[in-house]
Structure 1
Amino acid sequence: MALNLKNKTPDIRFLDEMRKVLYDQKWAEKAANQELYYMYRGLRKRKGLRYDITIIPPKMLGKEFVKTKGHYHIGNYGEIYIVLSGKAIYLMQKAISKSDFQKISDVFAIKAGKGDIVVIPAGYGHITINPSKNKKLVMANWVSEKCKSDYKPIEEMNGACYYYTVKGWTKNKKYSEVPKIYFKQPSRTMPKNLNFLNS
């Protein structure tokens, strides 16, 4: 879905909102506040769903690749992402319960490129990483208009249960239980019916 964003005003995620969730805290403490990524929300609406575009320029946050802040969904909502250009890594984690986010029962990642489609299952917290040092990531998503994001659990845990750094995947030691990360493949076709996103 091609859209002209020139006359659209994005929400901007700044470093000051992200310092707590970064791996390289020495860098985070000293780095000047700066723009990290751009969110164009509600560009299209269809059958109770909202279409957004997010642009993540390449950047190193100290030793860690730039990423979204990360959140869980309040309620039983999934989400679909489509990579429009660049490359992305989607990290998904499921807490052992809605009252204990320190223990993770499942964590996996999907590496995706242009044209790839990734479904975020209901109940999973997720972050998106731009693993490139020179290409911006442009991605779209479909999500229910009723879906609200909860950033608090990941913020309180200083990030997701894994960080993607110059040395690869690094466990976040603040979590008390973290299984080994595994990898899945993206899809190349959109689901014919997106009604499941409203459940």
Structure 2
Amino acid sequence: MQEIDLSSLTPDIRKLEDMSTVVLDKEWLQKAGNPDLYYMYRGVKEKDGLRHDITVIPAMMMGKEFVKTKGHFHSSGHPELYTVLEGKAIFLMQKGNQDCYIVEASAGQSVIIPGDYEHITINPSPNQQMKMANWISLDYSSDYSTINDKQGACWFYTTEGWKENPNYGTVPSIRKELPLDNIPDDLSFLKKTV
């Protein structure tokens, strides 16, 4: 994958105040100020009706919880392809309280997010930044309401392991799936909805 120089681009910045509803450690939240949590370089490339973004998640903790993206659902039903460029990532996918799985991926590995799953990405290292790229349809739309209303995904990844989010009532067990070692040659499936 060709390296994209981000130094001349201006990212959208997700700050702690944007994520306050989905942070597990509320005690830490009260004292943390408003640090930058991650940087989204949207639309660094467009090709065949798809948009290419890059997200950088610094090495840090949110109290007891590993830093993560806010999480969303594609209300348009489009799948998404992520590739880890640097570091390691845990991708958590959930279908409400019916199904939940994670994919642990390292640099060079990819994950396909199903169009009917909510998802978050976690940087599981407090010492190494994580950088990832994604391809998504230009026609997609995101919905943050479920994860926001439930104050996070159904599971939180913490220094003590996985913790259930009690706001879901019943929480599905986490199952694991493997990452892809290669990016699919044909990305047209990203333009189809579920």
TM-score if structure 2 supplies the norm length? 0.97
What is the Cα deviation at residue 134 of structure 1? 0.8
For structure 2, list consecutive stretches of 5 or more residues without a partner in the other structure.
none
**1:100 corresponds to which residue?**
none
- The aligned amino acid for 1:87 is K
* Percent pairwise identity: 49
What is the Cα deviation at residue 42 of structure 1? 0.3
> 1:7 & 1:152 partners in 2: Cα distance?
32
- The aligned amino acid for 2:94 is Q
* Secondary structure of the structure 1 residue equivalent to 2:136: strand
- The aligned amino acid for 1:40 is Y
**2:23 corresponds to which residue?**
22
Deviations 1:137-183 (A, max 9, x none): 01000000111111111011000000000000000000022111011
> 1:192 & 1:38 partners in 2: Cα distance?
27
Equivalent positions of 1:79-90 (< 5 A) are: 79-90=80-91
> 1:194 & 1:53 partners in 2: Cα distance?
17
Aligned length: 191
* Secondary structure of the structure 1 residue equivalent to 2:179: coil
Deviations 1:72-128 (A, max 9, x none): 001221000000010000000012xxxxxxxx1110000000100100011000000
* Secondary structure of the structure 1 residue equivalent to 2:84: strand
Equivalent positions of 1:139-158 (< 5 A) are: 139-158=132-151
For structure 1, list consecutive stretches of 5 or more residues without a partner in the other structure.
96-103
**1:99 corresponds to which residue?**
none
> 1:143 & 1:185 partners in 2: Cα distance?
21
> 1:77 & 1:29 partners in 2: Cα distance?
36
User: Is 1:173 aligned to residue 166 of structure 2?
Assistant: yes
* Secondary structure of the structure 2 residue equivalent to 1:118: strand
Equivalent positions of 1:43-122 (< 5 A) are: 43-95=44-96, 104-122=97-115
> 1:36 & 1:76 partners in 2: Cα distance?
27
- 8 Å Cα contact 1:48/1:145 also seen in 2: yes
